[in-house]
Each structure stands twice: as C-alpha cells, then as structure tokens.
Amino acid sequence: MSSEQTSPEIDILPTHNIRDEWLLLEGQSKSPLQWAVAAFAVVFGLWHILTNLYLNEPGMWQNAIHFAGFAFLASTIYSAFGHKTDEPWAIKLDIIYGLVVAAAALWVAGSESRLYEDTLAVTGQAWQFNIIDWAAGFILLFAALDLSRRVSGWVIPILITLSLTYILFFGEHLPGVFRTASLPLNDVMFRSLYNDEGMFGILASISSTNITLFMIFGGFLVVSGASDFVIEVSKLVAGRVRGGAAFVAVLSSALTGTISGSAIANTASTGVITIPLMKSNGFRAKFAGGVEAAASTGGQLMPPIMGAGAFVMASYTSIPYSTIVAVSVVPAILYFLSVAFIVRIEAVKYKVGDNQDMTIDKGKIVSGGLTFVIPLTVMIWLLMSGVTPSYAASWAIATLIVVSWGATLVAKMANRPDFVPTFMGPAKISEALMFGMRASILTGILLVAIGIMNNAIVTSGIGNAFSLMIAQWSQGSIVVAIVLIGIASLVLGMGLPVTAAYIILAILSAPALAGILADGVIVDMLVKGLSDPTHQAMFMLIDNPLIAKIGEGMTRPEALDLMASVPFEVAITLRPLMVDAELLTTYLLIAHLIVFWLSQDSNVTPPVCLAAFTAAGIAKSKPMATGFQAWKIAKGLYIVPLMFAYTPLISGNWFEICQIGFFALFGIYAINALIQYYAEGPLKIWHVPLLVLGLVGAFWPLHWIANIVGAAIVVFVVVSTSRSENSTALPSSNIS
C-alpha cells in the first residue's frame, strides 16, 4: 500500500518533511534505528489495546503515556528540518527531541500527587513548582505548539498562543464581554497541565481510549483486504446502472467511512480507483474529483466510527456513543443519496456512464468479505449492547484476527484459486498496528494540544461570551444562528482539521444553539400563558411591558420579542426550570450534530478544501474548479442540519424518522434538479414552480397529505422530463 493510501493526512504538509516509510513494512530496507522506531510503534499500539482492557492506569498516567508515545513518533516521523530531513544529525536531533518531550510528559504525570501535597503544606501559597516542574511544563507547552505545527500547519499553534496570552495578560485589556481577569503564570501552567479541560484531560482521554483504538481497527481492516472488498461490492451493487462508476465512488466511500472516518483518507484510498474509473466512463474530470471528495466527506458522517467527532460529542454531552451512532444512520443515508441523485442527473444530462467495464473480482469479495462483515458486525453489536467504544473496538480486532485464521484454514481445505484470504500472522498484525499508529499521530497530538485552548476558553468564560453573541446576533432565529456557525466553521476549517474545528465550535457555539432550540418550547408556553407561579416569578426579573400578559397568553411575535429581551444570565437559569431535562439533552445533541455536520464543509468548500484538492490531484483537474464541484455536490451538509433543527429527525420515534427521511429524499432530488436545471431530461419553465411546491410538501414534517402530494409532484416532473422529446445529449468528453 502506498504512503498516500495509508496516511493521506500528510498531504497538508510538504512530503519532504515526512519520513513516512519508517512506519511501513514494505518499501526500502530499514536501518536498525528505523526498525527500532517501527517496533516501538507496534508495542505502542499493543499498549493502547491492553490499557483499555486490562492495565487500567490512572487517567493522568494513561493520557501522559499516550501523548509521550505520539510525541516521540511525531517528532521522528514529521521532521523539523525540511530538505535536511534525511541528514544523520537531523534524525538524531528529532529523536532526542521526541525523547525529551516524552520524558517531560511522564514527569508531569508523576508529579501530580507531590504538587498537591506541597501546595497544601504551605497554606495560602500558589502551586509549588520546582525547577524540573517548570522545565517539564514549558517543554510540553512548546511541544504542543511545535508538534501541532508539524502535523497540521500554523493555525493551531497561533490559536494556542492567543489563548495563553489571553488568560495571562491580554484579556484584562479588552472591552466588554471579552474582558477577563489575568491569571499568574503558575496558575495557568497548573490548569493547562492538570485540569480536566487541559492537556491531559477530557480530550486526551477521548484520543487515548477511543479514537486510537478505532484507528487501529481500521488498520486491521485495510491490511486484511477489507478495502478491496469494499470496492468490489460497490461495483457489484452500483455498477449495473447508468453512471455506475460514480455510484461506485459514492457507495465505496460510504463503506470506507466505516473503516477510516476521515474524508482525506477516503479520498486518497478509494479515489485512486474510482476517479480514473469515472473519467474512463465519460464523466468530467472536475466532476469525478468533486464526487469523490463529496462522497468521502460523508465518511465522517457514516456510523459507526464517524471520525473522531462522535467520541468528542459523547464526552461533551454525556450522551451514550451508541445513541449518537443510532440517530446518525438515517441522516448519513440522506447525505449519500443526495450525492447519488446529482450523479444520476449528471449521467443522464451528459449521456455518460454507458458501456462501462465493471468486472467483479469475486476472489476479493470472498477473501475480504469475512474479515469486513463479521468483525464490523461484532463491533456494532457490542456498541449497541452498551459497552464502551474502546472495548468494542478491541474485541472487533480480536474477532478479525480469529476470522482471518479460520478463513485461511477454510481456503486451504477448499483449494479454490480465487479464495485467498489474508492470514493475520505476526507480520500482518505488526503492519496493521503500525498503520493504526501512523494514522493516529494527527489526532493524538492535536487533541492534547487543543486541551490548552479548551482550558483557556473554560477558565476565561469566553465560551459564554461567544454564546451570548450568537444569541444576540441571531435574535432567536435558528436559521441565522446556523448561518453564523456555518461561516465560523468555514473560516476555522481553512486552517484546522475537521475534528479540531468541530471541537472549538462545539465549545463556543453548541450551548447557544441548544438554548435557542429550547427557547422555542418556552415561546410556545408563553403563547398559551404561564400558570406556574415559579415560572412567572422568573419573568418578573425582566424589564419588558409584555410581562403583564404572561399569565393570560400572547401572540407568537410578542412571545418571541419577550424571549429576545431575556438576559443571558436569566435565560440559562430559566431553561432548566421550564423545559424537560430529557428534551434539553435532545436539543444539546441536535446542536452538536448541527455543528458537527457544518464543520465538515471545510473539506469541500473553497478556497481551502483539502479533500477536494486531494481528489483534484488524482483527477488531474483544476483544484479550485474541483472544489466548487464538490461544494455543489455536497449540499446535503446544509440541508440535513436544517432538518435536525426543524423536524423530529433526531428526536422522533423510528416510524417518524423513517417518514421524514423517506419523503425528504424527494425534496433533496427536487433541489438537485433545480440547481442543475435538469432531471431525467431538461426542465421547462413550468417545472420550476412545481418542483418548489413539491420540495416544500416533501419536507413538511410529519404531514402525510403534504408529503404524499409533494412526492407525487416530484415524481410527475421526473416522468415528464424523461418523456420529453427535447432531451438531447450534451458533449462531455471535451469538458475539463
């Protein structure tokens, strides 16, 4: 497997800075030092499995060891010396630096109890750091800046620096809601290292317990041949319809999302097969790249892995991971079908996708199918049964190894030349562990580094200030709030990986969005009138003439105006009193899902869209043109979040969710047809109002008559355009 396939995240940085071959078994011969680093990666991967099953170290120690190992790997694999990366002195300096950072992390973990004892022994004094404590702390802060720069660029180091200066001295000079008291250096150091919101706190625990285990599981799936199985199954399912090559891209990216949960990884691993396949079947190069980027972006929305975002969401909301995965199934299907619809329209519009060679390699299906289906089924079953994600991933890995042994034994007994499963022996297991470790370096470094920003946000209270700004600017409008969050996610996504952008946005904006959703319930109560004296008393704190009507009821515009005048401090007290706790939790989940979906748009939205640029490199198309195509194709990223906010797609029962999801498909198709001005044939002017009417009816939540009428209208337009005698083919092969 090529380095691009194993770790596509490296496309963010110049390739000459990366010693990628050090963590690959195949390729050029390795020096003893390179073999030592590879062996460490294997042992480090095994430690992650054992620490989540049997070792049970204290959380601080587990997270410190986790960061220490990845700091060593990051400093070794991602060189600081550019074109000098292969010089012996550069290699030695990088390794020494990694060992020093690792030692500092272990020292900090070992010093926690002593620091508490020393500080308690000197009553009234601040945290008592000795010289080694200060040195270790500064080394870790510098390493967070430096290593995050090496793996993802300059944006995160700049944000970390700003967050530290904000709580150290800059915040007290700012006006208004951004003003905050300055903290002494030793307090900032202690909070950054030891707080639950700091470097070795909640975010580091998510990485050490869940994300890395799923990355390792993904490595085992890839090494065992599951990725080949995904491509062949996609050909089998989607290769017999017009535009089948593009449908293969959509389906294979959906299935690959269950392995990697990374848009760039999906694009690089499946795109090298699907993009040339689409081009050979007549699809425009930029469209082929756009389809792959848009479909691969859905990989992070596809259960059960969903990138790192689902783990962060479960930690921040205290909602079970299994619940988040379960409610994400239908939205993910909607997204991939929205991409498939535009593929269909493109294929019909340009009359491409015929006479395609979709030869199926049955051997790859049989060989890779067992190691894909059985372990993934075991993992999903364990997740649904309520065990921790790390436990489920660990047993899925064990299941895959055993299945590979059984499949190999059956293959020898069957003696079929096309049934050649991969035997997961020591070499293959080591390769899978190295794959997992290489893929985990990015998140292992970033989630620890972002802890510094997280601590600054929580300590300063700027998160509440940001939430207040969103509430004020949106004036209670969910659409405006979502637009503001979308703009913020796009700006952050220009320089941050998707997971990092989601974490920052979730901290800053999810509470505000959840509050706006909850205010809708209070507005309904105000319209009817409040009978509870406690609820009435809370509104007496507000200076608004409409208070006189809270007992008898008021019009909806009046209720909205009254809620808009509620101060932020009163609102956060009012919501838990007037809105059911379970409903508040649901709104928090909806808010996080909206932020999570919107944070994905940076993969496909110009001017910086890494998944689209990766696809453009494979398609040999113009990067920006490919980015705009990907943005058009991935419009489901904006449609589905609106459905989260305005329909019971998340909060309803399964029957309601299926009803909303089924009829939404007709609305999504109508939107695509309007944008392309084409359905099964060219649209006529009178089709446009019909499609608008159809999509409104299709999206109307839980209204059977409107849904059926809307769907019927869309079907009528499809049939009408397909029978149109004016449907003429447009040339495609000469369009770049």
Percent of the chain whose predicted confidence (pLDDT) is above 90: 33
* Same domain, yes or no: 363 and 473: no
* Same domain, yes or no: 233 and 354: yes
* Same domain, yes or no: 63 and 141: yes
CA dihedral (717, 723, 729, 730) in degrees, to 10, reads -20
Q: Are the C-beta atoms of residues 474 and 481 closer than 8 Å to each other?
A: yes
* Same domain, yes or no: 562 and 474: yes
Domain-embedded: residue 674? yes
Q: Are the C-beta atoms of residues 440 and 544 closer than 8 Å to each other?
A: no
pLDDT of residue 8: 35
pLDDT above 80 for 20: no
Better pLDDT: 546 or 433 = 433
Q: Which of 424, 447, 470 is the last residue of a domain?
A: 447
* Same domain, yes or no: 438 and 522: no
Tally of CB atoms within 10 A around 412: 11
Percent of the chain whose predicted confidence (pLDDT) is above 70: 90
Better pLDDT: 573 or 707 = 707
pLDDT of residue 573: 83
Domain-embedded: residue 214? yes
* Same domain, yes or no: 393 and 484: no
Domain-embedded: residue 615? no
Q: How far is CA 526 from CA 314, 523, 547, in A?
A: 33, 5, 10
* Same domain, yes or no: 419 and 480: no
pLDDT of residue 335: 94
Q: Which of 603, 621, 640 is the last residue of a domain?
A: 603
pLDDT above 80 for 525: yes
* Same domain, yes or no: 411 and 480: no
Domain-embedded: residue 396? yes
Q: What pLDDT, in 10s, does the model give residues 192-231?
A: 999 988 999 988 998 898 888 888 988 898 888 877 787 7
Domain-embedded: residue 618? no
**Domain containing residue 692:** 654-725
* Same domain, yes or no: 443 and 465: no
Mean pLDDT of the chain: 84
Domains: count for the chain: 4
* Same domain, yes or no: 218 and 278: yes
Q: Which of 384, 414, 447 is the last residue of a domain?
A: 447
pLDDT above 70 for 513: yes
Domain-embedded: residue 496? yes
Q: How far apart (Å, rounded) are the C-alpha atoms in residues 340 and 342?
A: 6
* Same domain, yes or no: 671 and 594: no
Q: Is 670 exposed, middle or buried (0-12, 13-18, 19+ CB in 10 A)?
A: buried
Q: What pLDDT, in 10s, does the model give residues 59-93?
A: 899 999 999 999 999 999 998 888 888 888 999 99
SS3 86: coil
Domain-embedded: residue 609? no
Domain-embedded: residue 638? no
Query: pLDDT tier at 588 (50, 70, 90 boundaries)?
Result: very high
Name the nearest CA neighbour of 599 among 506, 501, 479. 501
pLDDT above 80 for 121: no
Element (H, E) at 7: none
Whether the model clears a pTM of 0.85, i.e. scores above it, the answer is no
Q: How far apart (Å, rounded) are the C-alpha atoms in residues 198 and 202?
A: 8
* Same domain, yes or no: 442 and 481: no
Q: What pLDDT, in 10s, does the model give residues 476-493?
A: 788 999 988 888 887 777
SS3 487: helix
